[in-house]
Amino acid sequence: MTLKSWLAKAQKESWALPHFNFSNLEMLKALVQAAQEARSPVMVGTSEGERNFIGLREAVFMVESFREEFGVEIFLNADHSKSAESAKKAIDSGYDSVHIDLSNLSFGENVKGTKEVVNYRGPTSIEGELGYLPGESKIQNKKFELKPEDLTDPDEAARFVRETGVDRFAGAFGNIHGISLDEPALYIERIKAVRKALSEDIALVLHAGSGIPDEEIKAAIAAGISNIHISTELRSEFREELEKSLHKKGETEYAPYKIMGPVVEGIKEKAIEKIKLFGSVNRV
């Protein structure tokens, strides 16, 4: 099945396709194991920083080889591409999907750059974003004040999708990148309004899913979200498990694969937890 058909199925059956970020082989390995064990389709994504660290062709080949060897339904996304140039580079490298994020530009500039990527894409699935999402993927030590005008406007969302031709749409619904001091409060009514304004074949994406209470995630899915991003919770799991493992194995353990074993296990468990929450379990 293609990414598009998985997203259509998720929307129709009211569950969400998980999007997990990874920075290295160990994290990807954990996500593949989670997908296999929980029988869930998954998107795995790399931000610009993550893919520059791994290498774009390397990320593509790692995902392809896992797909072939384990038969998992896995799709690679170039998350938060901040320029048309960066998005095109990911398309040329063989990414299955690209998220072009020009949400910090004016509406007109955003449409223009996003459209440029859509015209270039070939078979690659394209996600566009409109609306202001504060924060970055780490534990935040500050509170964020959101004003109603920061949220995505349904009419503007419809115009954006019409003018750009994207396959997926990401908006601002009270979600905040990273885990903040305040638990984010999602504007569920706004999700419903944006969902209603878009044609049915457009997938609605929720970024910054980390730290949002389970009940709000469920309400967001019921309101029409069919794709949810998790990054910060996996990063914090990575660090926590690595510190624990180093401590437990002691100063005489030098084999990286022995040190990293519990890290892979911890990330896998965290991903399975999200797969269950999103309702994508046992779909493959």
Please list the active-site residues. Answer: 79
**Which is closer to Zn ion, CB of 23 or CB of 33?**
23
Closest distance to Zn ion from the beta carbon of 237 (Å): 17
Neighbours of 212 (CB within 10 A): 23
Q: Which of 29, 51, 195, 207 binds Zn ion (CB under 5 A)?
A: 207
Q: Tell me which residues in 208-237 interact with Zn ion (CB under 5 A).
A: 229
**Which is closer to Zn ion, CB of 137 or CB of 245?**
137
Each residue 165-204 as x (binds Zn ion by CB under 5 A) or -, in order, gives ----------------------------------------
**Which is closer to Zn ion, CB of 19 or CB of 283?**
19
Closest distance to Zn ion from the beta carbon of 262 (Å): 27
Nearest residue to the partner Zn ion, using Cβ: 207
Half-sphere exposure for 97 (CA within 13 Å, toward CB): 28
Closest distance to Zn ion from the beta carbon of 207 (Å): 3
**Which is closer to Zn ion, CB of 36 or CB of 232?**
232
**Which is closer to Zn ion, CB of 36 or CB of 175?**
175
Q: Of 128, 97, 151, which is closest to residue 202 (Cα–Cα)?
A: 128
Closest distance to Zn ion from the beta carbon of 208 (Å): 6
Closest distance to Zn ion from the beta carbon of 98 (Å): 13
CB 41 within 8 Å of CB 15: no
Report how far apart the first and last C-alpha atoms of the chain are (Å, whole number): 10
Alpha-carbon span 76 to 60, nearest angstrom: 7
Q: Which residues of this protein are in contact with Zn ion, per CB under 5 A?
A: 207, 229
